[in-house]
Amino acid sequence: MKKKEKNYNLILGASIALFMFLFLMIGVFYTPYDPDAMSGSAKFAPPSLSHIFGCDHFGRDIFSRVLKGTGTTFFVASATVILGGGIGIIVGAFTGYFGGWIDEVLMRFNDAVVSFPNILLALVFISILGPGKYNVILALAIVFIPSFARITRSEFLSQKEMDYVKSARLMGVSHLRIMFVHIFPNILPSVLSMAAIGFNNAVLAEAGMSYLGIGVQPPDASLGRMLSETQTYLMNAPWCAIFPGLAVIGLALGFSLLSDGLLKKGGK
Amino acid sequence: MLLEVKNLNIEFYDTDPPEKAVKGISFSMEQGEILGIVGESGSGKTQTALSILQLLKSNSGISSGEILFKGKNLAGLSGRELQKIRGKEISMIFQEPMTSLNPVLTVGRQVEEGLKLHGEGFSKEQRKAKALDALGEAGLPDPEGIYGKYPHQLSGGMRQRVMIAAALVTEPELLIADEPTTALDVTVQAQILELLKEINAKHGTSILFISHDLAVIRKLCGRVLVMNQGVVVEEGEVSRVFDHPQKDYTKKLLAAIPDRRRSLRKRRRSQ
């Protein structure tokens, strides 16, 4: 027997993710200042006791904006993972379990989607749908479907050959019930880790798209948008960019470690 | 007549022309009978068993023949009709107790699954009571404790007992056992055979027992089919077939059983 090692990735990732989550939950209920309120006198105010993260070029309190922005980014990323992941898992489950022509058609379509770079494809969808928070979610979800579908498919491909599936068939269990009641719990570790990676990518993609100005629209605070707005002042007022940047890093790192930890826990 | 297989042919479509795994075999089973099918690997015995429940893999299929279960031809039923028979009227247990149970569901859930699907109108409590009964009847000590456990917490013999409990919880009329004792050690094997005998005597469940192990067949079955290369070589009462084999293949098969005394004699002679 191997000695049970502590899963530091899981512990650390979960704590960072939890910390970020608590952080944004504070933002939902309370911000020290109105995140959109401008103040001429506080323009580029450096971090101090009254504005602990300082103020930006409009004199808005960065701490309040980071609180709100983290919330926005988190919402977009979660919605993307739920939507894209949900559809991807269903597609993957059907193609992997049944195979045949459904598999061929859906997977070739998948390959077509995958052959474009993610961000580029999301940009195309945004240019069709128009910018905005919900369109970003939709665009990213579409872009994320293939990766979820692929991993789920491969898991189903290997699971459907297992004896327990055969014995479930013998008991007269229907295909749908086998897929989602018998097989799905077995692939849950991979699904969770996949969701964590997906979340991670969605955070970065949302930040990237908002940075390019096609994501979340002003005056909504979003981490990417804050970075892009303040990059001009990076040398004079670095706090404007450092704190939103740290929040992005926190989200991305937390969920990336979490996904590694989950994979390890699943024994893969 | 409970089960009647008439001129069954099974083919593998991987090759061209298709390879015949089972070539026109026929046999029948009475209610309450224990029928053994014995043969070496590749003799077609497992394919025959799987074909009864229409569970052949997609690369193989029944090319001709009939499988009549209580007069109904199983080969002609739709998927939905088959689902009603599988697990309800015919259950099956396999060789691999280690992998035949779903690793992430509790034993109780898996034993209850058959009731959920087929036991119309059982309440949650009734299902649990029935599952506990089945576990107890399968000879598992402390059914209450085992009910909430996961397969990896059980030994091989216990898992095979769980499989048997899950197969019998719906009180099927026919139990197909495909080498259920092969993966178990000899003492556990003997216990499982005893258990199957008890079930057969108590509930009148007919058992189609497939094995390559002649000793096991002899201990359990009333009648036996000897299969080789997809055909039935010999058929008859176990005592007749084993004591007075008529066909060369059966004689060879029986001669292949290692005999402790004979091998000792051989060794002495060579010394």
Q: Where are the domains of chain A?
A: 8-23+53-267
CB interface of A with B, residues 164-183, below 8 Å: 164, 166-174, 182
Burial class (CB in 10 A: 0-12, 13-18, 19+), A242: middle
Token code pair at residue B16: 């061209």
Nearest CA to CA, how far is A265 from chain B (Å)? 14
Query: Between β-strands B206-211 and B34-38, what pairing exists: parallel, antiparallel or unpaired?
Result: parallel
Residues 6+ apart with CB under 8 A from B49: B37, B92, B176, B178, B208, B210
Q: End of a domain among B156, B171, B186?
A: B171
At which residue do the structure tokens 């790192």 appear? A253
Q: End of a domain among B123, B147, B171?
A: B171
| Shared-domain flag, residues B134 and B162 | yes
Nearest CA to CA, how far is B213 from chain A (Å)? 22
* Cβ proximity of A202 and A81 under 8 Å: yes
pLDDT at position A81, please?
A: 92
**CA end-to-end distance (rounded Å), chain A:** 17
Interface contact B88-A172, CB threshold 8 A:
yes
Residues 6+ apart with CB under 8 A from A239: A46, A47, A53, A54, A62
User: What pLDDT, in 10s, does the model give residues A94-143?
Assistant: 999 988 888 888 888 888 888 888 778 888 888 888 877 888 899 889 88
Interface contact B103-A164, CB threshold 8 A:
yes
Interface contact B87-A173, CB threshold 8 A:
yes
Please report whether residue B94 resides in a domain: no
Residues 6+ apart with CB under 8 A from B197: B34, B220
* Cβ proximity of B28 and B5 under 8 Å: yes
pLDDT at position A86, please?
A: 93
| Shared-domain flag, residues B180 and B249 | yes
| Shared-domain flag, residues B236 and B155 | no
Rounded to 5°, angle at Cα B92 from B89 and B97: 150
- B231 contacts chain A (CB < 8 A): no
pLDDT at position A208, please?
A: 83
Nearest CA to CA, how far is A99 from chain B (Å)? 11
| Shared-domain flag, residues B59 and B76 | yes
The fold of A8-23+53-267 is MetI-like fold (1.10.3720)
Residues 6+ apart with CB under 8 A from B184: B97, B156, B157, B160, B192
Token code pair at residue A118: 């993610």
pLDDT at position B98, please?
A: 75
Residues 6+ apart with CB under 8 A from B66: B4, B5, B6, B7, B8, B73, B75
Please report whether residue B217 resides in a domain: yes
Q: CA B190, B52, B35, B167: dihedral to nearest 10 degrees? A: 40
List chain B pLDDT tens, one digit each, 271 residues. Answer: 888 888 888 888 888 888 888 888 888 898 889 999 988 888 888 888 888 888 887 788 888 888 888 888 888 787 788 888 888 888 888 877 778 888 888 998 888 888 888 867 788 888 888 889 888 888 888 888 888 889 888 888 888 888 888 888 888 889 998 888 887 788 888 888 888 888 888 888 899 999 888 888 888 888 998 888 888 888 888 888 888 888 888 888 888 877 666 666 666 666 6
Rounded to 5°, angle at Cα A233 from A229 and A238: 100
DSSP state, residue B90: E
Smallest CA–CA distance from B99 into chain A, residue: A163
Query: Between β-strands B72-73 and B60-69, what pairing exists: parallel, antiparallel or unpaired?
Result: antiparallel
Residue from B250, B240, B258, B241 nearest B43 by CA: B250
Please report whether residue B197 resides in a domain: yes
| Shared-domain flag, residues B177 and B208 | yes
Smallest CA–CA distance from B85 into chain A, residue: A172
Q: How many structural domains is chain B composed of?
A: 2
- Reported ipTM: 0.73
Residue from B147, B103, A169, B36 nearest B161 by CA: B147
Please report whether residue B179 resides in a domain: yes
DSSP state, residue B56: -
Host H or E run for residue B144:
helix B143-147
DSSP state, residue B86: B
Residue B141: domain span: 101-171
Cα distance between residue B153 and residue B131, in whole Å: 18
pLDDT at position A1, please?
A: 43
Please report whether residue B231 resides in a domain: yes
User: What pLDDT, in 10s, does the model give residues A216-252?
Assistant: 777 777 888 888 778 778 777 777 788 888 888 888 8
- pTM attached to this predicted model: 0.76
> Residue A4: pLDDT above 70?
no
| Shared-domain flag, residues B181 and B256 | yes
User: What pLDDT, in 10s, does the model give residues A166-215?
Assistant: 888 888 888 889 998 899 988 888 888 888 888 888 888 888 888 887 77
Please report whether residue B96 resides in a domain: no
Host H or E run for residue B231:
strand B231-237
* Cβ proximity of A255 and A25 under 8 Å: no
